[in-house]
Amino acid sequence: MLAKRIIPCLDVKDGRVVKGTEFLQLRDAGDPVELGAFYDREGADELVFLDITASHERRKTVVDMAARVAEQVFIPFAVGGGIASTEDMRAILLAGADKIAINTAAIQNKRLISEGAELFGTQCIVVAIDAKRRSKEDPSQGWEVFIHGGRTATGIDVYDWVKEVEQLGAGEILLTSMDRDGTKDGYDNLLNKMVAEAVKIPVIASGGAGNLEHLADGIIEGKVDAVLAASIFHYKEYTIQEAKAYLKSRGIDVRL
């Protein structure tokens, strides 16, 4: 039985791990390689490194980080943040990353998804989507796709976009609820369920995990294949093993 996955997410800036609360406030939480190796030993199923560096040295920094991570981490890991060409993808994959997450660049240049999938395989291409409810109270109005780290509205509907990225060759969708990100109120499971039922590719829920129940709810109510969380693990509120034992107790298949 294919196990549901728990994925700690590490936001990285200038080679250091930080965690953004509602995308704006940053706190320093350590070395990405050390933290990655720690999560591997603890039983994390996968890692996502999201680079938010904004310098000219950015690409070199990211490739270098992927290479250093690959020396110490023996679970799959994805790298995202500012990747805008298949050359960038190739460099990061050759450094040892397993997957590339693209967000703004995928909206601006849809061919990046299909070309990446053709060159490296669909399993390498994760399309990350920042989704925001059109109305906080009325989910029937749907969700809109935002880019540039949540600063720019696109007018594109999340349902239309996930259908399109699947068609283009995305291997996985990393779905972040902007309404819930940083709130610790739980994932937006109406959003998760809507997307999980719209596509056949795996969906990773992100944004809002504040306790272990939230992780289980994402999988059971949101119907996602994997749950991503940051602060609840980074600040040692729960260990990965505690999270897995809890999911198991809720009848979810996990790798123990």
Partner 1 sequence: MIAIIDYGVGNLRSVAKAFEYIGHQAVVTSDPNEVLEADKVVLPGVGAFGKSIESLTKAGMVPVVKEVVTSGRPLLGICLGLQMLFTESTELFGDATAAIKGLDILPGRVLRFPESHLKVPQIGWNSITKKNDSPLLHGVAQGSFVYFVHSYYVVPENQEVIACTTNYGLDYCSGISYGNLFAFQFHPEKSSQVGLKILDNFAKLK
Catalytically active residues are: 11, 130
**Judged by CB under 8 A, which of 122, 183, 211, 239 binds partner 1?**
122
**Judged by CB under 8 A, which of 61, 85, 86, 123 binds partner 1?**
123
Total number of residues that touch partner 1 (CB under 8 A): 32
Neighbours of 35 (CB within 10 A): 22
Is the separation of the CB atoms in 76 and 89 below 8 Å?
Answer: no
**Judged by CB under 8 A, which of 25, 34, 54, 72 binds partner 1?**
72
Token pair recorded at residue 19: 């965690």
* Contact residues for 240 (Cβ-Cβ < 8 A; gap 6+): 6, 8, 39, 42, 43, 44, 233
Q: Tokens 């796709």 appear where?
A: 145
- Interface with partner 1 includes 241 (CB under 8 A)? no
Site string for partner 1, 76-95 (x = CB under 8 A): x----------------xxx
- Is 212 in a helix, a strand, or coil? helix
- Interface with partner 1 includes 70 (CB under 8 A)? yes
Is the separation of the CB atoms in 132 and 155 below 8 Å?
Answer: no
- Interface with partner 1 includes 198 (CB under 8 A)? no
Residues binding partner 1 (CB under 8 A): 1-3, 5, 40-41, 43, 45, 67, 70-72, 74-76, 93-96, 98, 121-123, 171-172, 200-202, 225-226, 255-256
